[in-house]
Amino acid sequence: MAQCPPPYASASYVRSLGVIFDSALSFAKHIDYIIKSCNFYIRNIGRIRQFLSIKACEKLVVALVTSRLDYCNSSLNGLSQTHMLRLQRVPITAARLICRIKKFEHISTSLQSLHWLPVAFRPRFKLLCIVFRALRGVGPLYLEELICPYRPTRSLRSESKNLLYVPACRTATYGNRLFTLETAILWNDLPHEVRDAENLSSFKTAQNSLFQYCLSSKLSFRMFEVYFNVF
């Protein structure tokens, strides 16, 4: 008599390429891991902070802390503001360590001097760079196939603005985090001058300049809503 194969137990989360996926795709377990790992290195750097210059300490933090915030962070785009605020505390703590700022002192000026992008903007910055490369034909083919330029059915002024087609979203839980939807919305929100950058280097510079301008003028731009609620 043939034996039935053993049943496979379902797991609440799995790890792939260092990213922890849970059943609800909330990435709560992965965020806990990132925060725990970053705080571990921040504490160790803090033990030798008195022997380091500001530049040396900044290099250590970038190599050991912010690199972990940036690893596969495009999957974190579209998460709730609660998760982003938890991650934002990591660079805030690291900036206090570098600049030797006490716990209850203001930190915004130090973050601007370090030229660090807020955590909520980092995955969006990466996604926009992916879109730029795909539209220029230098990105992966499977991503180029997912990006659809906007082509109106009749002649309109928006035809020459280098926009993307925004697909319909059926579910509010996961549909708004669809790659084709979120990248199209982020791309169309960029000013026309940024979208028409000549190369990737100038595109990155234009994005950073746009961020600094919105930060200094406190504009209500969709890409920076989470950041302005941090402080």
Q: How far apart are CA 135 and CA 148, in angstroms?
A: 9
* Digit-coded pLDDT (tens) for 61-105: 999 999 999 898 888 887 888 888 899 899 999 999 998 888 788
> How large is the angle between the packed helices 122-135 and 179-189, nearest 10 degrees?
90
pLDDT for the residue numbered 197: 83
Q: How far apart are CA 78 and CA 109, in angstroms?
A: 27
pLDDT at 223 over 50: no
pTM of the model: 0.76
User: Structural domain boundaries of the chain?
Assistant: 13-114, 122-228
Which two tokens mark 172? 């509010």
List the one residue out of 224, 200, 196, 231 whose CA is nearest residue 210. Answer: 224
pLDDT for the residue numbered 122: 87
Is 123 in contact with 179 (CB distance < 8 Å)? no
